[in-house]
Chains A and B, each alone.
Chain A
Amino acid sequence: MDLLQRFAAGDLEAFESLFRQYQGDVYRWIMRIVRNSATAEDLTVETFWRMYRARAQFDPTRSVCGPWLRRIATNAALDHLRRSRREIPLPDDLPAAAQQPPAEQLELRRQILAAIDKLSPSLRAVILLALVEEESYENIAQSLGISENAVRVRVFRGVRALRKSLSQAGVHA
């Protein structure tokens, strides 16, 4: 019996193997959406918790569980964004962001982060994944459970909303 079959049957050791194999990928994917390492760690555990609870629905004849896991991770990250909307502005605790830029760049950055904050969670996730992280539309579509055309529409709507917010703030993109 292979690893995925053992996991679907409820074997904790198989689950641990999958966890160790995928925790880095899941963490990075969630980090791309929530951009805070502590939150991304919590949501990584939440993702595997949801995966473990849903193991009976997993089809072990599939050769990979990465796309399934990525979809669960995206849902967990979107749920978090919906819960924390209007409470927490977009954080960005990546190492590169720690360098102190000049004052005018700080102001520009603040305006851009504010414009991203105004987007709905699903548009925000798509804009961050497509434009900042340059993920393929195929990957984004899989992770959201929508078609690539629907991703294009969301990118278009997100870009339009961003440009509107930025132009109201006097930033011309």
Chain B
Amino acid sequence: MNQQEMDDLRKLLQRSVHPVGRLELQRDLWPNMLRRLDQPTFHVPWWDWALLAAATALLLFFPGMIPALLYHL
């Protein structure tokens, strides 16, 4: 693709999708930020997910272990 074709496509796109330019933010977002900071976060560490995946895979491949697991719970 040459530069002329690229420029033609650019003009075609800009006629349909207008550039943002120097668009101004209409309001201060700091109050939203404070609300977000106040929200409690629930985070499960990756190793917990890994442990869960390993246990699920183990039970899937060795279903005979399910009664043993239930017995120990």
Contacts and interface: CB of A to CB of B under 8 A. Distances in A.
Nearest to A97: B18
B20 A133 contact: yes
Contact of B36 (A45, A90, A96): A45
Nearest to A160: B1
Contact of B29 (A44, A105, A163, A171): A44
Contacts of B37: 49, 52
Given A19-B33, A112-B12, A163-B9, A96 B18 contact: yes
A140 to B, nearest CB: 14
Given A19-B30, A45-B29, A173-B8, A112 B36 contact: no
A97 B22 CA distance: 15
Given A23-B29, A32-B20, A159-B6, 19 more contacts: A23-B30, A24-B24, A27-B25, A41-B25, A41-B29, A44-B29, A46-B36, A48-B33, A52-B37, A108-B15, A109-B16, A128-B17, A131-B6, A131-B9, A132-B10, A132-B14, A133-B19, A134-B19, A156-B1
